[in-house]
Structure 1
Amino acid sequence: MPTRLVDVGQAGSLRIVETKPNLIHAPYATLSYCWGGKNQLQLTESSLEDFKVEIPAWQLSFAILDAIYVVRQLKLRYLWVDSLCIIQNSKSDWEKEVITMGEVFRNSAITIAALGAKHSEEGLFARRDPLIYQPCNLFRRDGKDFFVKSQVDDSQFSDDWFEKSPLHQRGWVMQERALSPRTLNFGATLIWECSEGVKYEHTMDFELGTNSQDSPGNPTIKSRLHEPLKDEIAPDQTSLLFKFWREQILKPYTMTILTVKEDRLAAISGVIESIGKSTGWESVYGLWMPFLVEELLWHKFVFVPWRGDWRHQNDKDKLGQSRLRIAPTWSWVSLDIKIDFDSSSGKAPIRLFTTQVTVVSNTSILSKLGANPWSSRLKVMSKLYPSGSAVKGRSDLFNFLVDQTSFQATILFDIVPSTPKPYYYLPLIAQHFPNWYRAGDGGKIRFVGIVLVTSTDFPRAYERVRYSHSYVSQTVADDLLQNELISIELV
């Protein structure tokens, strides 16, 4: 149970109740909504005792008032709302509650989502023509009713419309939506989400009460996170779950908006904890330990016109302006950018370039929220190659040196470059592309890795600044792969 709940009762009074002292174990609803608007009544240290007696309903926003109405209609007594159940001016209370926020939504009976509201003053309900949704009984013959129903334009309720709704642009909503066992979305239409599917109001069969066709939306977000725990995960299931995390959770999450950028890890920590519990995987600043080599190969989201995805079409392709001092440089958490991963992963035989990647210190996600990120370092046994000069006319292509041989590597900046420093190329995997250019040339080897600079704050350590890949001949590849491994520390 959450620490606090709003007791909506059955009458007009509202109050805050603390669950443990009162031994409350009852079904409750949660509210998912966008903050903002004029009426932002919040729980504070000074108002806590007063709110235990009565919450002044007239000061609440429409989103909360509408949610209270829905909760009462559902015959539930309790509602969890972040602004009223977390002490907003207490850092210690926020840090304690944010750790359990994922469980708050996972254990709720239902989440009420203000899908179409840009801020809390817009509320849950939309004005619309009821005849569009309500069938008209024309006549009765032989004991059967004959109805006519308006045809709704499905295009206005597409996947695109659903995913780009104001609520789904908010960073915190990703885990609220993913972890809630069932969600009732309010907007231009009602949308039901649970682990079995996503159902739209206008596709419901009004006689049978079931859907006449599948609705847009992706049901696997809830179903994957609410599957029963297993003692051992099969290799194919491990691969699918890892891909699910990247494609359906992490990438969409980094495209959302966080008012407080430092919440970048906290706002997704509930999902990370849930996956960790079901798999036994350990997370280190948003990267999964069993896949740490691949996880280091994240990069900024790049505009690719031919993919035909609205996220690419609307992306401004901005670099990070400065580091968020909440994670090491090797974690995507350290930058407020949209991220992606190497697109050719799994399409060609992969050889690990490095023999070992270890975490120097314990970096449990829950214990590290708000902690010093520089206490966590990675030690990599690999190879390191210094850069020569940038290729003339190309800001993303550099020469790197191995003995007396040079090779070119394409680099993608993570962050706006500051004072130029010598760059070092750290390859992590090698992929063989046979006959990539023409038959008989032995093919090409693709190196994928990251580009480092020496750390200003920590001697003999390196900071990540870029993702990089390069195609080299078999001869150059042999020279690279035969070099002696060295120990490299990343902060």
Structure 2
Amino acid sequence: MKKWLRECITTHVECQQLQSSDGGLRASASGPRRLLHLSGSTDAPQVRLEQNSGSGALLDYAALSYCWGGDQAVKLKDKLVDSWTRGIRYEEFPKTIRDAMWMTMALGLEYLWVDALCIIQDSEQDKAEQISRMAEIYEQAYVTISAARATAAPEGFLHSRYMPGERGFRMPFTCEDGRTSAVVLWQGREPDAWEPLDKRSWCLQESILSPRVLEFGTHNVRLRCARSRADEAQLQCDGWVGHSKTFAQLGMTQPLVSSIDWQSLGEPYKFVQAWQMLVSHYTRRGLGWYQDKLLAISAIARKMSRMTTGNNKRYIAGLWAEHLGEMLLWHPNHGPDAKERARRHETYVAPSWSWASCSGEIDFWYGSGMHLLEFVGCEVRTAIPGDEFSAVVGARLELKTLVMRARMRKGGGGGWGDGGDGWFLWDEEAGEEVNGSLMLDVEDEESGGEFVCERDEEVVLALVQTQDALVLKKRKKGEEAASVYVRIGIYREGPRGTDPDRWAMEGVVIV
């Protein structure tokens, strides 16, 4: 593994280009605010918390990407900072942390960054500040150690890779030095058998942002870097072959999980496509605290913004203002393959027009590409004032576009989405059903609250693209309820269309 890392740093042109494209980020960086300093031997490491002053050269450190698996028995708290700077008993740490410390020292490094041990967990201010620097922390790491195979911190990841019960055949084999070993013929894992870490939302950005990821998987150890992300055949690995046809057929290579083509983001189409695919994949992962919905992807958003400096891209609660025509056309996956039923979060996470306001898997509807709406303005209040990538505490979006009023009714409808329970739109003036397809964000009252319509309630269709509109209803609470709307779904116009005179240019405010 040391050889792999050395070759990556000294010979990989792709990795050197990625480093230089970040504008010398590592050379000008100050590093994480805190690191674990490791000394002594790998058998009995001496561990202490070291405060980083930010002056001097950036230290070489490893970062750990792992599944918490619930609350941590050992984590940094405000009252422990002083005592930990003097030393921490190695035996107190869970197995995954101890394995990471052993591997860090075995690789010849003295410093390790672990979120639970380097961020003060009972300080909302420290958590907000350090989460805002997450992109830098993983980008600046010498290597990220990925405990991909462990479902929880107590499991560890440096144990035997052979899994009893899997269908394989073990053949005796004598090594060159005379030791007896074996060659194992293996049928392969089940389709879509992701590693435990691949199911965790926070770990997506850790995988994407790290320049080098040493991944300890169920059946092999792999080094992911810019070269291997561009060409899976260049992947360095031991154990089971990591780039065979079997792995490709079973979907074991996940380019999105480990890579974004940063150089192409200057092209609007590529930027939109990258973000939509990212959100779609991200929302299929598990998230321990739904309040972290936007935070756990914010580091990637921050880097995407930095890589497109000069294009004036504004990040607004999980969307990009310059591409609202595409960004607003998200919808939950209500299909039979969805692992989680869509619902609106009870505690405020994001405005109704943001995909982050819904739980479950999110997809995007690809419309005509012809935008008719005018972005008037947006106000987003964040936990850290002036930091658009921090947690959202309130937001409102003002648009000007063609709108049409209709009534929500049950007992008909159909086609795309069909509203979940026979909901359809009724045009009172024309005395007929509005021709088109309706997809509501939530399908039942229990999971929708304010965002569920009542029978015969008036809604507004706000055109986003030539055939696609947001379905809005008046907000029921707040001083401005009469003129403020919440999103409840999306609508696609049918082949017969609607009377053009039924649409009028108006301004709408959505919260």
- In the superposition, the TM-score normalised over structure 2's length comes to 0.77
Q: Tell whether 2:131 aligns with 1:111.
A: no
Could you tell me which residue of structure 2 aligns to residue 412 of structure 1?
439
Could you tell me which residue of structure 2 aligns to residue 191 of structure 1?
222
Could you tell me which residue of structure 1 aligns to residue 474 of structure 2?
454
Between the aligned partners of 1:182 and 1:159, the Cα distance in structure 2 is 26
Per-residue Cα deviation, 1:422-469 (whole angstroms, up to 9, x for no partner):
2423243455xxxxxxxxxxxxxxx21221111122331101111222
Between the aligned partners of 1:287 and 1:76, the Cα distance in structure 2 is 39
CA contact (8 A) 2:120 2:126 kept: yes
**1:196–1:324 CA distance, 2 compared to 1 (3 A):** farther
Secondary structure at the aligned position of 1:5 is classed as: strand
**One-letter code aligned to 1:101:** M
**1:105–1:479 CA distance, 2 compared to 1 (3 A):** same
**1:283–1:88 CA distance, 2 compared to 1 (3 A):** same
Between the aligned partners of 2:54 and 2:211, the Cα distance in structure 1 is 27
Between the aligned partners of 1:240 and 1:127, the Cα distance in structure 2 is 42
Could you tell me which residue of structure 2 aligns to residue 150 of structure 1?
183
Q: CA deviation at 1:350?
A: 4.0
**Corresponding residue to 2:283 among 249, 254, 264:** 254
Could you tell me which residue of structure 1 aligns to residue 98 of structure 2?
65
**One-letter code aligned to 1:174:** L
Secondary structure at the aligned position of 1:404 is classed as: coil
1:215-364 matches, within 5 Å, as: 216-219=252-255, 221-224=257-260, 227=262, 233=266, 237-247=267-277, 249-280=278-309, 281-303=313-335, 312=337, 315-342=338-365, 344-345=366-367, 349-354=368-373, 356-361=374-379
Q: CA deviation at 1:221?
A: 5.0
**Corresponding residue to 1:52 among 85, 89, 98:** 85
1:392-403 matches, within 5 Å, as: 392-393=411-412, 395-401=421-427, 403=429
- In the superposition, the TM-score normalised over structure 1's length comes to 0.80
Identity level (%): 23
Between the aligned partners of 1:473 and 1:20, the Cα distance in structure 2 is 66
**1:370–1:33 CA distance, 2 compared to 1 (3 A):** same
CA contact (8 A) 1:61 1:120 kept: yes
**One-letter code aligned to 2:270:** L
Q: CA deviation at 1:303?
A: 1.3
CA contact (8 A) 1:181 1:222 kept: no
Between the aligned partners of 1:171 and 1:350, the Cα distance in structure 2 is 30
Q: CA deviation at 1:321?
A: 4.6
CA contact (8 A) 1:178 1:222 kept: yes
Between the aligned partners of 1:224 and 1:253, the Cα distance in structure 2 is 13
Q: Which runs of 5+ in 2 are unaligned?
A: 1-30, 414-420
The answer to which of 74-83 and 21-30 deviates more is: 21-30
RMSD (Å), alpha carbons: 3.3
CA contact (8 A) 1:448 1:470 kept: yes
Could you tell me which residue of structure 1 aligns to residue 500 of structure 2?
478
The answer to which of 450-459 and 321-330 deviates more is: 321-330
Per-residue Cα deviation, 1:159-217 (whole angstroms, up to 9, x for no partner):
722xx221111111111111111111113221222222253434669xxxxx7889641
The alignment of Structure 1 onto Structure 2 pairs a total of residues equal to: 437
Q: CA deviation at 1:85?
A: 0.2
Q: CA deviation at 1:241?
A: 3.1
Q: Which runs of 5+ in 1 are unaligned?
A: 141-147, 206-210, 305-311, 432-446
**1:138–1:20 CA distance, 2 compared to 1 (3 A):** closer
Could you tell me which residue of structure 2 aligns to residue 425 of structure 1?
460
**One-letter code aligned to 1:387:** A
Between the aligned partners of 1:63 and 1:223, the Cα distance in structure 2 is 25
**One-letter code aligned to 2:507:** S
Could you tell me which residue of structure 2 aligns to residue 77 of structure 1?
110
CA contact (8 A) 1:451 1:466 kept: yes
CA contact (8 A) 1:385 1:401 kept: no
CA contact (8 A) 1:63 1:114 kept: yes
Between the aligned partners of 1:187 and 1:103, the Cα distance in structure 2 is 25
Could you tell me which residue of structure 2 aligns to residue 2 of structure 1?
32
**One-letter code aligned to 2:460:** Y
**1:218–1:154 CA distance, 2 compared to 1 (3 A):** farther
Secondary structure at the aligned position of 1:160 is classed as: coil
Q: CA deviation at 1:35?
A: 0.9
**One-letter code aligned to 2:75:** Q
CA contact (8 A) 1:410 1:470 kept: yes
CA contact (8 A) 1:285 1:363 kept: no
